Amino acid sequence: MEKSALYDNIIYLFNRHWDDELSDEKEERLQEKYDNLVNEYGWEVVFEAINRFMRTECLDGESACNFAHMYWGYNCYDPKNIVCPYYFLGYLFYRMNLEPWKYDAVDIMDGLVKDLLSTENDKSHNPFWNADYIPEKDPDIIAEVEKLRRAEHDEP
């Protein structure tokens, strides 16, 4: 399978609403399809396609929230390692304008932040362990959001 076929499969997997009612069999088939893509291409290549989908198809808070749920649903966050988690998370927070509560996305975003930024030895980025940590106030997430805002205003 070539990369365009991979991207077509990512579109197929992610281009639905996260809380669509699916039978257990359908959910299992979708998860199996995702898992097979990771096995065939490797996590890094699949993540590249997922990130491309997110940045080209998720252009508002609602679609970013939906994407976050789908990403979580396919277990993309575990045990994979994203080289630039702030770059990835920053895009989602950017589309939600640092206001995930407006999209009923606080829980999903807190979960993604916890899983992408926390380690067993460092739980400072874990909003479930560290009550003082608020992802929307994380200077590194804010810096990524600001980069995207500046880039958006620099475009003709």
Question: Coil, strand, or helix at residue 131?
Answer: coil
What the block records as the tokens of 15 is 């281009």
**pLDDT greater than 70 at residue 152:** yes
- CB neighbour list of residue 75: distance below 8 Å, 6 or more residues apart: 31
Q: Residues of 113-139 as b/e, b for ≥16 C-beta within 10 angstroms?
A: bbbbbbeeeeeebbbeeeeebebbebe
Contact 117, 85 (CB under 8 A): yes
In this prediction, residues 8-15 reach a mean pLDDT of 95
Measured distance CA(106)–CA(102) in Å, rounded: 9
List pLDDT tens digits, range 36-79: 999 999 999 999 999 999 999 999 999 999 999 999 988 887 65
Place of tokens 């491309």: 52
| Cα dist from 22 to 84, 96, 117, whole Å | 33, 27, 31
* CB half-sphere exposure, 135, CA atoms < 13 A: 35
Taking the domains of the chain in order of start, what are their residue ranges?
3-154
Q: Which residue shows structure tokens 């589309």? A: 95
Average pLDDT, the chain: 89
Q: Indicate the length of the chain as a whole number.
A: 156
Residue range 77-98: mean pLDDT, rounded? 87
